[in-house]
Amino acid sequence: MPRFKLILEYDGGPFVGWQRQENGMSVQQALEDAVFAMTGERVSAHGAGRTDAGVHATGQVAHVDLSRDWTPFRLGEGLNARLVPHPVAVVRVERATTDFDARHSARARHYVYRIVNRRAPLTLERGRAWAIKPRLDAGAMREAARALIGRHDFTTFRDAQCQAKSPVRTLDRLDVSRDGDAITFEVSALSFLHRQVRSMVGSLVDVGSGRWSAPDLKSALIAADRSRCGQVAPPHGLCLTRVDYEPDAAK
């Protein structure tokens, strides 16, 4: 049975998240419905990251198994035609090896969180970035972020409903940069806890606004106590931009 690797882009605003749920349309359901409309097959689409409601993606990865060996071009074109009007696009399709798994074969996941730090409201970027009016100190956030890099117990930055067996994760990258009014957080790890990125970004904004100091953030991390987390950043500023795999994941 041929396996296909799909690279997806989507606006997370209208969805309850990646994962199929009973309370609304998910990205997974939209994709599976498109596969059925094209092929007549009911399949499970397995995603690399279970993005929350409102979180976007430019590099989500999924795999599906189909009984027919479609050409990647035709499969991508057909799925995109049937994904309308959902804001989901199949950017690329590749044949994958039978042992490729979009989630379990991943070697790194990369997210970007964007803030627009200005007095004026957002227009073109509404729903794509967190608008914050008071001036933030990006340098202070960058310095404080260093305490989060590495292997830690991230209980403080883990949602209370997180189902992961362990709160320990290794954060490979957390860069904070400013370009004019735009503040960008670039975050990378093998895997993340539920709402970990948004919890870290929100707490770093507390540093940038002067409500917290860098030692406050480090103490919150060490406490391993969810009640010590700062604010949680809203979902619409977060985007899954890339998932890395070994080079031989595709045929």
Query: 104 CB contacts (<8 Å, ≥6 apart)?
Result: none
101 belongs to the catalytic site: no
One fold for both 3-105 and 108-241?
yes
For residue 54 the two structure tokens come to 């409102």
Percent of the chain with pLDDT over 90: 95
Q: Give per-residue pLDDT as tens, 223-234.
A: 999 999 999 999
Banded model confidence at residue 248, pLDDT cuts 50, 70, 90: low
* Chain Cα centroid distance, residue 35: 23
What's the pLDDT score for residue 36?
98
CB 190 within 8 A of CB 106: yes
Domain 3-105 has CATH 3.30.70.580: yes
What's the pLDDT score for residue 207?
98
What's the pLDDT score for residue 251?
47
Residue 250 predicted with pLDDT over 70 = no
CATH of domain 108-241: 3.30.70.660
Instruction: Give the whole-angstrom CA distance, residue 60 versus residue 239.
Output: 9
Q: Give per-residue pLDDT as tens, 179-216.
A: 999 999 999 999 999 999 999 999 999 999 999 999 99
The catalytic position among 33, 52, 159, 225 is: 52
Residue 249 predicted with pLDDT over 70 = no
What's the pLDDT score for residue 246?
87
For residue 230 the two structure tokens come to 């700062």
Work out the mean pLDDT of the chain and round it to a whole number.
96
Query: 234 CB contacts (<8 Å, ≥6 apart)?
Result: 54, 130, 198
Of 6, 18, 10, nearest in space to 63 by CA? 6
What's the pLDDT score for residue 163?
87
What are the structural domain ranges in the chain? 3-105, 108-241
Better-scored residue on pLDDT, 160 or 129: 129
- Mean pLDDT within 48-56: 95
Query: 249 CB contacts (<8 Å, ≥6 apart)?
Result: 5, 96, 97, 100, 105
* pTM for this prediction: 0.94
- Mean pLDDT within 94-101: 96
Of 202, 189, 206, nearest in space to 240 by CA? 189
